[in-house]
């Protein structure tokens, strides 16, 4: 069994196979006895979509293809819902199958029925969709962030729940800091996750967008994008002003060693202080401490 399946089993099955989340374990009414089998058939008009669904875009052509398959073969994998009240259900996972069933003209759909609070709803939707579906990177990032913020999980806890390492989770969340234009490009598959990570290394939003436009226009590879980033972050020395030169000379005299101010055209830079050995380093550190 793969690591991915193992991680999914630990997260999803712990919620779906626990008797405490099963509607059939909560009542013995005649109506509920019809739910004693693992799968029930529910009218589509009694089902509403999941507000915690991480997927926001459903490809129309793919839905039409799935609806045609459903017409020919029926629903292969039942959806999972929770019971809200009298004859009302809410989708936990399987919204794509639900939408395709509507297009196919079905009046009912096979479903697992469970009880779940809102936190479990969110966790179940994330685990089901992130592990099994092709969410885009923005949707995944938003989903991870909601789990961290709304369910108050740490990155370590989230890593355990979904079977992903912390660096992967961090990268998906970091791309949410990119400008909206770039996020739209990720969502629409104009650039890859690799491009997005490279764009994060640019210092300003303007530089990110300029680089993004070049990537899309010229279909640049991730490696070429990384090279653009390196060139952008390369410091360009500039001539020091009279004041800066005088301060550089004073620092040399105060520290009794060579001191150089390196400044770029952007106004940033660094001060380099030379030392000969450990004793000289300690001498300079003492002066700095004073």
CB 76: neighbour CB atoms within 10 A? Answer: 9
What DSSP designation does 82 have? E
Q: Return the ∠ at Cα 4 (arms to 143 and 112), rounded to 5°.
A: 70
Please tell me the distance from the alpha carbon of residue 127 to that of residue 131, in angstroms, as a whole number.
6
Query: Cβ neighbours of residue 54 under 8 Å, at least 6 residues apart?
Result: 125, 126, 129, 130, 135, 139, 140, 142, 143, 146
Catalytic residue among 17, 65, 72, 95: 95
Q: State the residue for tokens 């520290």.
A: 255
Closest by CA to 197, choosing from 170, 223, 175, 173, is 175
Within 10 angstroms of residue 5's Cβ, the number of other Cβ atoms is 11
Both structure tokens of 285 = 């550190």
Is the torsion defined by CA of 71, 73, 74, 80 positive or negative?
A: negative
> In the chain, which residue ranges form alpha helices assigned H by DSSP?
3-8, 14-16, 30-33, 60-73, 95-104, 118-132, 137-150, 155-162, 166-174, 180-187, 193-199, 205-218, 222-232, 242-255, 278-289
What tokens were used for 190? Answer: 């104009």
Residue 250 annotated in active site: no
Angstrom distance (rounded) from CA 120 to CA 139: 19
Q: Supply the residues annotated as catalytic.
A: 95
């Amino acid at each position: 069994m793969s690591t991915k399946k193992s991680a999914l089993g630990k997260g999803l099955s712990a919620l779906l196979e626990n008797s405490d989340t099963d509607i059939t374990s909560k009542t013995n009414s005649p109506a509920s006895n019809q739910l004693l089998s693992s799968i029930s058939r529910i009218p589509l008009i009694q089902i509403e979509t999941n507000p915690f669904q991480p997927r926001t875009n459903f490809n129309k052509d793919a839905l039409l293809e799935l609806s045609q398959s459903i017409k020919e073969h029926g629903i292969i994998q039942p959806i999972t819902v929770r019971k809200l009240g009298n004859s009302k259900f809410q989708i936990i996972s399987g919204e794509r199958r639900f939408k395709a069933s509507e297009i196919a003209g079905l009046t009912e759909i096979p479903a697992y029925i469970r009880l779940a609070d809102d936190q479990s709803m969110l966790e179940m939707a994330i685990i089901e969709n992130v592990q099994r579906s092709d969410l885009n990177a923005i949707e995944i990032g938003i989903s991870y962030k909601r789990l961290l913020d709304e369910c108050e999980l740490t990155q370590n806890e989230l890593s355990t729940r979904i079977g992903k390492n912390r660096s992967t989770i961090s990268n998906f969340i970091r791309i949410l800091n990119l400008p909206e234009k770039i996020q739209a490009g990720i969502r629409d598959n104009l650039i890859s996750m690799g491009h997005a990570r490279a764009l994060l290394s640019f210092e300003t939003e303007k530089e990110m967008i300029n680089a993004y436009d070049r990537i899309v226009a010229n279909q640049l590879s991730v490696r070429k994008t990384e090279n653009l980033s390196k060139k952008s972050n390369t410091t360009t020395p500039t001539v020091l002003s009279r004041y800066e030169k005088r301060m550089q000379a004073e620092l040399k005299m105060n520290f009794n060693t060579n001191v150089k101010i390196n400044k770029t055209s952007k106004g940033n830079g660094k001060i380099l202080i030379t030392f000969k050995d450990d004793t000289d380093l300690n001498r300079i550190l003492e002066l700095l401490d004073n």
